Amino acid sequence: MLERVPSAEEIRAMNKDELRSLAQEIRQFIIEKTSVKGGHLASNLGAVELTLALFSVFDFPHDRVIFDVGHQSYTYKILSGRKDGFDHLRDLNGISGFPKRKESPYDSFDTGHSSTSVSAGLGMVMARDLQKDDYHVISVIGDGSFTGGEVFEALNNAAALKSNYIILLNDNEMSISRNVGGLNRYLTNLRAGKGYNRLKDIVKQAFRKLPGLIKGISNFKDSIKEILMPRGMFFENIGIKYFGPVDGHNIPEMQRILQKAKDLNRCVLIHVKTMKGKGYEPSEKKPEWFHGVNAFDIATGLPLKAADGRSYSAVFGNFIDNAALTHPKIVAITAAMTENVGLTDFAAHFPERFFDVGIAEGHAVTFAAGLATSGLHPYFAVFSSFLQRGYDQIVHDVCMQDLPVTFCIDRAGIVGRDGETHQGAFDLAYLSGIPNMTVMAPRDALEMEEMLSFTLDFNRPSAVRYPRGKAKERLDKVRPQPIVYGEAELIERGSKIAVLSFGDRFNDALETVERLKQRGYRPSFVNMRFAKPWDEKLVDELSNDTELFITMEDGAIFGGIGEKISAHLSEKGYHGTVRNIGIPDRFVPQGNPDELYHLLKMDADGVMEIIENDLVQIKA
């Protein structure tokens, strides 16, 4: 059927068997493409029938759907004319793994972070009503995203609606890790409904021999469940109509309930039960492993390329697990990312000292502050782009009180194929501007361990930021010079040119130094280590005989360490040139990280190109 993607009208005309076959083909297509290109697999496999039902009931793109997070939108992209684009999924200039308005008129809102779809959908509903338009708005949101507080802020507003708005709660009991907390228990109770389900089976058996009465059973079921179970009581009590739970893999049932919801002039929540990873046995068994995948072997589910060395996440996880043995005040926090940030072993070995707060980064930061006021040392491991959602809490609750909370910032800098929403471009700029905060970035795995060791007895706010992927290792395995607060590591003292490297840019900075030497220059080379406080004393000393400073960082240039060094030198009356190399004032697209560094002129080739005219003025 996918040789020519069927239209919405053709999908509406399909019978059960045809719909089942189409769903199977779509699943196979998604498995095949992600096995080659990588991507979000398990979440997309669980949303196939749900999306088919949406496409058959609504008129897209006139009607609008917002996929929360967006990592369940592959079927929607296939049905909206982008099937052929999957050969370049998540490539530079290829189609995105997330909804993008600039990519297709079918995508009504850009997503990539969780818990935004209800607020965005409500805004569209209000705009529709104000402008007297007639489109429907549907927000598709997972139960994991429901742990984000923004959802409940939006529900509070949506409850007052007197026009149609549909929230489709896709309940698969998963975020990236398993869901936790009170909301998960509430949804579990809604899923279970044991008394109702037992009675439903008895009624079905009693009427099995009376085909003429079967049609009446559905209404009878609805009445019984209202008597036996407070299903959806929370949503009903705040003014939102609740339907469900509904089998999200039963397309005719989904079509029926969506048609019913379309006719109500109020906010409606449809609770849909699905299986994350459905239709592919490896992902059904381990959905958290198949949330985001690299290329893999379909037959076994194993990666095509075995992991080569340890990741920075693993370096952190191993360190914190060992440190906790001798430091009883250490506690670890994650926001629904246990496996991804390297805390699996810590959670197993120290369950009473491990806290998964769900997708709620703002809460996680203030929760850490509360722990710190009571004598503990919290380590919050979080992706850089996700920590942005806790900025106010970092300022107000941690730094203003000068509390010993350590932020272990994973996926800092360019992360690659997930694109704009996931690049860790801004943490250096926004953290280094906050009083009382200390910010570090290691050049390699051994230095990262030294920095984490430094934080153990550091009784103030601190952050260690490190990139995605394989950790750089020192071939000689020699431990780095001890970490001294605010001091850089002077690797080589030269003259006229100074290359100041921060964090993971070290190898490209080293390559830049080698190329300068090949051209007859003798540059100074510094591993800055600290973004705040950075080593003013060393920079001032170098400025006495340096005509060109080159700063290299894996973060936004505006507000970054290079810009701060430039401003400092200017205030001191420095008359030389400072070239800041980093992420320019733009959102960085998806692509292979090496491609992106080259595109942004952040690799050694780009640096040499940028400074070419400067070198003309400097004698070797």
Q: Any idea what the CATH number is for the domain that residue 323 is in?
A: 3.40.50.970
- Give residue 203's pLDDT band: very low, low, confident or very high (50, 70, 90): low
**Is 471 within a domain?**
no
Mean pLDDT, the chain, rounded, equals 90
Is 389 catalytic? The answer is yes
Range in 28-37, 59-68, 467-476, 535-544 the model is least confident about? 467-476
**Is 459 within a domain?**
yes
Question: Percentage of the chain with pLDDT > 70?
Answer: 90
What is the tens place of the pLDDT at every residue in 81-97?
A: 999 999 999 999 999 99
Q: Which of 353, 389, 532, 564 is catalytic?
A: 389
Q: Which of 231, 276, 278, 468 is catalytic?
A: 276
Backbone dihedral angles phi then psi of residue 473, each to the nearest 5 degrees: -115, 150
Residue 504 has pLDDT above 70, yes or no: yes
335 within 8 A of 357, measured Cβ to Cβ = yes
Q: Indicate whether 114 and 256 sit together in one domain.
A: yes
What is the tens place of the pLDDT at every residue in 110-140?
A: 999 999 999 999 999 999 999 999 999 999 9
Please give the structure tokens belonging to residue 591: 């692509």
Is 522 catalytic? The answer is no
* Residue ranges in 444-535 assigned as alpha helix (H): 445-456, 506-518
Q: What's the CA gap between 49 and 274, in Å, rounded?
A: 9
- Give residue 182's pLDDT band: very low, low, confident or very high (50, 70, 90): low
Q: Indicate whether 374 and 336 sit together in one domain.
A: yes
Question: Percentage of the chain with pLDDT > 90?
Answer: 79
Helices 117-130 and 149-158 cross at an angle (nearest 10°) of 30
Q: Indicate whether 242 and 390 sit together in one domain.
A: no
pLDDT for 53 equals 96
Sheet containing 354-356: which strands, arranged edge to edge?
Answer: 354-356, 330-334, 377-383, 406-410, 462-465, 438-440, 530-532
**Is 290 within a domain?**
no
Q: Which domain holds residue 320?
A: 312-465
- Give residue 189's pLDDT band: very low, low, confident or very high (50, 70, 90): low
What is the tens place of the pLDDT at every residue in 316-374?
A: 999 999 999 999 999 999 999 999 999 999 999 999 999 999 999 999 999 999 999 99
283 within 8 A of 42, measured Cβ to Cβ = yes
- Give residue 225's pLDDT band: very low, low, confident or very high (50, 70, 90): very low
Q: What type of residue sits at position 356?
A: D
- Give residue 220's pLDDT band: very low, low, confident or very high (50, 70, 90): very low
CA angle 193, 197, 200 (to 5 degrees): 145
CA-nearest of 612, 35, 567 to 300 is: 35
Mean pLDDT of 289-315: 87
Mean pLDDT of 269-298: 90
Q: Residue 574: give its domain's CATH number.
A: 3.40.50.920
Q: Which of 150, 173, 288, 361 is catalytic?
A: 361
Neighbours of 342 (CB within 10 A): 26
Q: Indicate whether 535 and 436 sit together in one domain.
A: no
**Is 516 within a domain?**
yes
Three-state SS for 188? helix
Neighbours of 570 (CB within 10 A): 11
pLDDT for 223 equals 46
Mean pLDDT of 216-245: 66
CA angle 228, 147, 175 (to 5 degrees): 95
**Residues of the chain by 3-state class (helix, strand, coil), percent to 5:** 45, 15, 40
Q: Indicate whether 330 and 183 sit together in one domain.
A: no
**Is 402 within a domain?**
yes
What is the tens place of the pLDDT at every residue in 29-54?
A: 999 999 998 999 999 999 999 999 99
Residue 595 has pLDDT above 80, yes or no: yes
CA-nearest of 106, 166, 107, 162 to 129 is: 162
**Is 433 within a domain?**
yes
**CA-to-CA dists, residue 40 to 55, 224, 444, angstroms:** 21, 40, 29
Q: Indicate whether 278 and 361 sit together in one domain.
A: no
Is 361 catalytic? The answer is yes
pLDDT for 179 equals 53
**Is 587 within a domain?**
yes
What is the tens place of the pLDDT at every residue in 541-565?
A: 999 999 999 999 999 999 999 999 9
Q: What's the CA gap between 615 and 608, in Å, rounded?
A: 9
What is the tens place of the pLDDT at every residue in 598-609?
A: 999 999 999 999
- Picking from 246, 266, 285, the residue at the C-terminal end of a domain is 285
Q: Indicate whether 342 and 411 sit together in one domain.
A: yes
Range in 168-177, 265-274, 298-307, 393-402 the model is least confident about? 168-177
Range in 153-157, 186-190, 224-228, 281-285 the model is least confident about? 224-228
Q: What type of residue sits at position 192?
A: A
Q: Indicate whether 317 and 449 sit together in one domain.
A: yes
Q: Indicate whether 508 and 571 sit together in one domain.
A: yes
Q: Indicate whether 105 and 246 sit together in one domain.
A: yes
Instruction: Report the half-sphere exposure of 417 (CA within 13 A, side-chain side).
Output: 19
Q: For residue 214, what is the enclosing H or E element?
A: helix 214-228
Q: Indicate whether 431 and 529 sit together in one domain.
A: no
- Give residue 4's pLDDT band: very low, low, confident or very high (50, 70, 90): confident
Q: Indicate whether 361 and 506 sit together in one domain.
A: no
Question: What 3 state SS string does 49-76 have?
Answer: HHHHHHHHHCCCCCCEEEECCCCCCHHH
Mean pLDDT of 493-500: 97
Mean pLDDT of 449-458: 97
pLDDT for 478 equals 84
pLDDT higher at 187 or 557: 557
- Total domain count, the chain: 4
According to DSSP, the residues that pair with 169 across neighbouring strands are 141, 271
**Is 374 within a domain?**
yes
